[in-house]
Structures are given as C-alpha cells and as structure tokens.
Structure 1
Amino acid sequence: MIPRLDNPSALFPAGFKAMVALEQALAQAIDPELLELVKLRASQINGCAFCIYMHTTDLRKRGVDEMKLYLLNAWRDSYLFSERERAALAWTEALTRVADDGAPDDAYNALAEQFSEEERVQLTFAIGAINVWNRLQIGFHVAHPPRGAAMRSDAA
C-alpha cells in the first residue's frame, strides 16, 4: 500500500490535536481494556490494518488473554466476554455499521442495562472516535509499522 500523504496530521494540526485530546479524555473515562476491545472491534469491521495492529498490540501489553483477541470477531459465541463487554461490543457494531440498521433499540437497551447514562455517552464518543481514526488511516493508506516496531499510543 502506498501512502497518499506523508504526514496528514501536519496538514490539519488543530483537527489532530482535537482528536488526541478526545482520546485522552476517553482514556480517563473508560476502563482501558474495554476501550481497547471497542477500538479493535470497530477496526476489524472497518478493515483498518493500522488500527487493528495498534489495538491488538495495546491489548497484548495489557495482558489480555490471546484467545480473547482471537475470538473478538466471534464474541457472541464465546464465553470469554462479560455481559458488560458484550453490550459495549454490540453497541460498537451497531454504530460502526449504522448505515445497515441504524442504532437498534435492542443494542441500546443492552447497553443501558450495563452502563450508566454518562458511560453510554462516553462509549458512544469512543466508537465515533475510532471510526474517525479508521477512516483517516484507510483514506490516506497509512500502513501499520513493521512487526515489533514501536507505535505512538496517542493516535487511533
């Protein structure tokens, strides 16, 4: 894949700065493992190799069970995910695929059973943010780094 731009963040620093500020706020608000699972699942759906690489790496650093990473795209059929994670992942899928079915009541109701109003807003912002990052990386053909290379953790 050939990158379309050398450094998109330099061309709109205010936009990237705002995204990084949002990421920092989300990191303070949401359980880190749950946040990374949400980011990884949205990135899988969108096919963003850069973000899949980044969030898989971040989850491994957090010590998440490898099997949980392997089964994330089949979370509905796995006992490894808590009810809270299931609700967040269902909401992630609904909003990432919003053109398919909108935001179905069943996904929202499951979310409401597990999360407070404030947490629902925070998760919805997180899902929106990762979808923006996915579109930036995919749109500009940003490749993931070579295996084992360090990644900036303030993006995507």
Structure 2
Amino acid sequence: MTPRFDAPAVAPALYKAMLGLEMQIQRAGLGKILLELVKMRASQINGCAFCLDMHARDARAAGETEQRLYLLNAWRESPLFDARERAALAWTEALTLVSTTHAPDAVYEEVLAQFSQEEAVTLTFAIMAINAWNRLAIAGRFLHAMPEKAAA
C-alpha cells in the first residue's frame, strides 16, 4: 500500500490547526495514559493501523502495560480498567460509532459520574480529534512504522 497524499505538505495550515487542537487536549489534564487508551480504542474501532501503532508506542512510553493494551478491545470483560477509564472508553465507543449509538444519555451520565463537566467536554474533544486523525490517516493511507527485519 502506498500513501495517497502528504497532508502536512499539501495542507500545512489545516494540519497545523489539527496539531494545535491536539496540543490543547494534551495540556487539559486528563492524563497521558487515559488519552492513549481512548486513542487506541477509537483506532481499533476505525481500523487505523497507523494510529494504533503510534498510540501503542506512546502508551508504553507513558508506562502502560502490555497486558492492558492486549485487553483493551475487551475492556468490559477485564478487571484491569478502573471506573474512570471504563466511562471514557464507553464514551469513546459511543462517539466513534455515533451513527448507530446516538451518544446515549446513560453513557454520558457514566462520564459525568467520573469526570467534571469541563473534563467531559475535553474528553469529547479528544475523541473527536482521534476520529479525525483516524480518518486522515486512513484516507491518506499513512504507513505505520515497521519494525526492522532481523538480519538473516
């Protein structure tokens, strides 16, 4: 698969605006690991290999465990995720699949039980952003980093 376009080169102002949103989300205080889990879960749903690769690396660098990364796709069945993470992951799924879920009140109420309203809005922006990044990476056929092949 070859890339279709180089978004930063073709539309630098738009790309810079997306990076600006990302920086604001990072500074908002939700926590690096929580944000990486949200980004990975949305990327799993959207099938974005580029973003999954990037955010798995970022999550590990932030201290996330391999076990939780492996179980992220089955977070509902795993005892390894706390109530705050569960609420964020449920909201991530609801918004990533918004055409079928319509962002249910019950899921949002779970979010408000774990997050302030300001944090809930920040979380919503984080979910919106990763879905936009996923669509950009998939549309542009961004290539994920490939591990170097071992010498024969």
TM-score normalised by L of structure 2: 0.94
Consecutive unaligned residues of structure 1, counting only runs of 5 or more, are 149-156
1:100 maps to amino acid: T
Consecutive unaligned residues of structure 2, counting only runs of 5 or more, are none
Please list every run of at least 4 consecutive aligned residues from structure 1 whose deviation after the TM superposition is greater than 4 angstroms: none
Q: 1:19-34 counterparts in 2 under 5 A?
A: 19-29=18-28, 30-34=30-34
2:50 maps to amino acid: F
CA distance in 1, matches of 2:44, 2:147: 18
Name the structure 2 match of 1:53.
53
CA distance in 2, matches of 1:126, 1:147: 28
1:93 aligns with 2:98: no
1:51 maps to amino acid: C
Name the structure 2 match of 1:80.
80
CA distance in 2, matches of 1:78, 1:27: 27
* Seq. identity, %: 57
Name the structure 2 match of 1:136.
136
CA distance in 2, matches of 1:66, 1:35: 16
CA distance in 1, matches of 2:101, 2:136: 24
Name the structure 2 match of 1:16.
15
1:14 maps to amino acid: A
Please say which structure displays the higher CA radius of gyration: 2
1:116 aligns with 2:116: yes
CA distance in 2, matches of 1:101, 1:146: 35
CA distance in 2, matches of 1:140, 1:25: 24
2:46 maps to amino acid: N
Contact preservation (8 Å) 2:36, 2:55: yes
SS of alignment partner, residue 143 of structure 2:
coil
Contact preservation (8 Å) 2:40, 2:56: yes
Give me the CA root mean square deviation: 0.9
**CA deviation string 1:10-54 (max 9, x = no partner):** 111111111111111111112111011000100000000000000
Contact preservation (8 Å) 2:3, 2:141: yes
Q: CA deviation at 1:116?
A: 0.4
1:76 maps to amino acid: R
